Amino acid sequence: MDPAGPSAEAVWRYRADVWRLASQLCQHPEDAEDVTQNALLKAAQHLDGFRWEASLRTWLHRIATNECRMLRRRRAPLSLDQMLEEAATQQRPAELPAAGPGPEEAAVEAETRRQVIAALASLPERYRTAVLLKDGLGMPAEDVAAAMGITVPAARSVLHRARTALRAALPAAARG
């Protein structure tokens, strides 16, 4: 750990990681780009405020999470139908490997993926953020807590509730 703090170069090395989080939280590629740029710029401008209480990656994720929240607050909330429609249109087409599943299996996988995306979109923002940080980015609970600005027990509780809500939102076939 550098007692002087990280450099602006170190902040920019996390661009792809911050963008992945922002693209999951914001659900619009343009918004993800804006959030990523804003988060990295804010981090670079406030490097003197970084105190090594968490990793640089966690600090950047927290800034990006806050940027996504602020973006959502500035916009009118989407209806459930709009969220489901957006989730369906953002789905990537299933790619069939040369020696992989047949068309029926690929269609089932694509439908399952669509259902999971729709179920994630239906979760409250706090739950969706926790699941994406923990399960999507593989962060430990301690880093999830730091990124969300809550205690570790609270993060574990939010994750438990989020996963319960996610299971309830998914049809039995998609739960695997």
Whether 52 maps to a domain, the answer reads: yes
**Looking at residues 4-24, what average pLDDT do you find?**
79
Residue 113 lies in a domain: no
Look at residue 18 and tell me if it is in a domain: yes
Q: Could you give the percent of the chain with pLDDT greater than 70?
A: 77
Q: Dump pLDDT digits (tens) for 117-126.
A: 888 888 898 9
CATH number at residue 33: 1.10.1740.10
The domain total for the chain is 1
Residue 87 inside a domain? The answer is no
Mean pLDDT of the chain: 79
Asked, for residue 35, whether it belongs to a domain, the answer is: yes
Domain holding 46, by residue range, is 1-75
The pLDDT score that the predictor gives to residue 155 is 94
Within 13 Å and on the Cβ side, how many CA atoms surround 46? 13
pTM: 0.52
Of 47, 44, 45, 25, which Cα lies nearest the Cα of 35? 25
pLDDT top residue among 157 and 27: 157
Q: ∠ CA(31), CA(60), CA(143), 5° rounding?
A: 115
Q: Is 164 part of any domain?
A: no
List, for residues 57-114, the tens digit of each pLDDT value.
888 888 888 888 888 777 765 555 665 566 555 545 445 445 556 777 777 788 888 8
- Helical H segments across the chain, by residue range: 8-12, 15-26, 29-45, 56-74, 80-90, 103-122, 125-131, 141-148, 152-169
CA-to-CA separations, 50 to 19, 46, 145, 149, 151, in angstroms, rounded:
20, 7, 17, 15, 19
> Is position 172 within any domain?
no
Q: What is the pLDDT of residue 98?
A: 52
Q: Dihedral through CA 119, CA 33, CA 94, CA 120, nearest 10?
A: -10
Residue partners of 161: CB distance under 8 A and separation at least 6 = 127
Decide if 151 is inside a domain. Answer: no
Given pLDDT bands bounded at 50, 70 and 90, which one contains residue 55?
A: confident
